[in-house]
């Protein structure tokens, strides 16, 4: 990897962290509100919070994090596949936490750590991959 590629990857990670950090705070807040204020089951609240943030995350990552000018329909389809798997991972983590009768906030923490790592790698190399110019 040359220094320009390394710099580009570094700044993508910084932008990803900004979008992801904001999203994680919003996800945690929405999940907390749904569980604490409306009595929703933590697994359902996890999925609902994730779905509320899906479209804003796509737009933020497409245009800000990755600066992609690729076809929206193609990229959004891939984005939905990735996030479908991430919703399953988040809900599955919350289900394990719930089954173990632990505080649901452990499920939020699991999602806040596991999901961003997977999402960055897959979005960088598959969803918003920029083809090299020849």
Tokens of 64: 């800000």
Question: How does residue 106 score in pLDDT terms, banded at 50, 70 and 90?
Answer: very high
In a domain, 119, yes or no: yes
Count of domains for the chain: 1
Q: Is residue 75 part of a domain?
A: yes
Residue 127 DSSP code: I
CA angle, 73 as apex, 67 and 74 as ends, to 5°? Answer: 75
**CA separation, residue 74 to residues 89, 96, 105, 119 (Å):** 23, 33, 35, 17
Which tokens hold the place of 32? 């907390």
- Give the tens place of pLDDT for each residue, 11-63: 999 999 999 899 989 999 999 999 999 999 999 998 999 899 999 999 999 99
Residues of the domain holding 123: 3-127
pTM: 0.79
Q: Does some domain include residue 15?
A: yes
- Higher pLDDT: 103 or 118? It is 103
């Amino acid at each position: 990897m040359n220094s320009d590629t390394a710099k580009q990857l570094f700044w993508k990670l910084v932008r990803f962290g900004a979008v992801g950090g904001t999203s994680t705070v919003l996800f945690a807040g929405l999940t907390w509100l749904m569980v604490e204020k409306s009595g929703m089951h933590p697994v359902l609240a996890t999925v609902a919070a994730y779905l509320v943030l899906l479209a804003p995350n796509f737009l933020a990552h497409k245009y800000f994090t990755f600066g992609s000018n690729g076809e929206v329909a193609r990229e959004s389809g891939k984005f939905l596949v990735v996030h479908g798997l991430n919703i399953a991972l988040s809900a599955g983590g919350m289900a394990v936490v719930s089954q173990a009768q632990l505080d649901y906030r452990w499920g939020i923490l699991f999602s806040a750590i596991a999901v961003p790592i997977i999402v960055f790698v897959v979005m960088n190399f598959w969803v918003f991959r920029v083809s090299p110019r020849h």
